[in-house]
Amino acid sequence: MPLLYPLVLASALFGIGLYGVLARRNAVMMLLGVELMLNAVNLNLVAFDAWFADVVHSGQVLTLFTITLAAAEIGLGLAIILALFRALRTVDVDEVGR
């Protein structure tokens, strides 16, 4: 498989994720956008790893770490959103910013 396909897909994912972060008003949806961006990175890493046939598989190793990090971020993010909701009774970022 040519390297191009996964890269295009990754770029698209990253872009969509970024759009989600910038455009969605709901905090949870923004988190999802971030997830998409991180997964684009993962896709990139795995694709490059496969393409290089990297012996030490550093790409895949980093992918594993990224997945973990993503989980941690989501955990923290959701906790914050929960606290926000408790404090402000909303998860709409426009409301939060006011």
Partner 1 sequence: MSRRWIYVALTAALATAASIWAVPRLDEPGWFAYVGQGGAGDGPPLPSLSPDLFLYPVSAQVVLLAVGVGLLVQIYSTAYLGHHPRYRSYALIIILFLVGMIAVVGTTNLWVLLVGWEVMGLCSYLLIGHEWQTAEARAGAAKAFLVTRVADLGLLLAILVIGETYGTYDIVGAQIASSQDGVASSTAIGLLVLVAVVGKSAQFPLQTWLPDAMPGPTPITALIHAATMVAAGVYLAARLFPFYADSTVVLTAMAVVAGITMLMGALFALVQTDLKRALAWSTVSQLAFMFAAIAAGDPEAGTDHLISHGVFKALLFLGCGCLMHAVGSSALAAMGGLRRSMPATFWTMSIGFAALAGVIPTVGFFTKDSVLHAIEQSAGEDGGLATGTTYVLLGVALVTSFVTAAYATRLWLRAFFGPVPDGRQEHHGHEAPRAMIGPLVVLAVATFALSIGQPFHLGIGVVGTVIAAGGIAVVVWSWRGGSTLEWTTRPLTAELGLDRPFTSWAPAFARGVSRTVVDLDRDGVDVYPRAGAGVAGLTSRALELVQTRNVQRYATVIAVGVLVLVVAAVIWT
Partner 2 sequence: MNIPIDWSLVAPAVIVMVGALVALLVDAFYPRRTWLGSGLPSTGALVVAGVLAHVHRDDIGRLSFALVAIILVGSLFVVVASNIMNFETAMPPGEFHFLLMSAAAGAVLMVVARDLVTLVISLELLSLPSIALVGLRQGDKVAIRSAWTFFLASVVSTAITLMGISLLYGVTGSLDYVEIREALASPEVPQSVVAVAVVLTLVGLLFKLGAVPFHVWIPDTYVGTSVMVAGFLSAVSKAAALGALLILVNVAFPYAYGTWQPLLAVVAAVTMTIGNIGALRQSDAIGLLAWSSIAQAGFLIAPSVALLTTEGLTAPVQYLAVYALANLVAFAALSVVLRLRGSTRIDELKGMVRTDPWMGIPLVFAALTLAGFPPAVIGLVTKYVVIRPVVDSDHVWLAVVMGVNVMLGLAYYLRLVVTLCDQPDGEPYVSPSPPVSVRIAKTTVLLGTAGLIALSAWPDLLLRHLP
Binding residues for partner 2 (CB under 8 A): 7, 10, 14, 17-18, 21, 27, 30, 34, 37-38, 40-41, 44-45, 47-49, 51-52, 54, 58-59, 61-62, 65-66, 69, 72-73, 76-77, 79-81, 83-84, 87-88, 96-97
If you search the block for the tokens 């949806």, which residue do you land on? 29
Minimum Å gap between C-beta 5 and partner 2 is 14
- How far is residue 3's CA from residue 22's CA, in Å, rounded to a whole number? 29
B/e letters for 40-76, b = 16+ CB within 10 Å, e = fewer, are bbbbbbbbbbeeeeeeebebbebbeeeeeebeeebee
**Interacting stretch for partner 1, rule CB under 8 A, among 1-9, 18-26, 47-55, 59-67?**
18-26
- The kind and range of the H/E element at 38 are helix 27-52
Q: How far is the CB of 9 from partner 2 (least distance, A)?
A: 13
Helix, strand, or coil (residue 92): strand
Interface positions with partner 1 (CB under 8 A): 18, 21-23, 25, 30, 93-94, 96-98
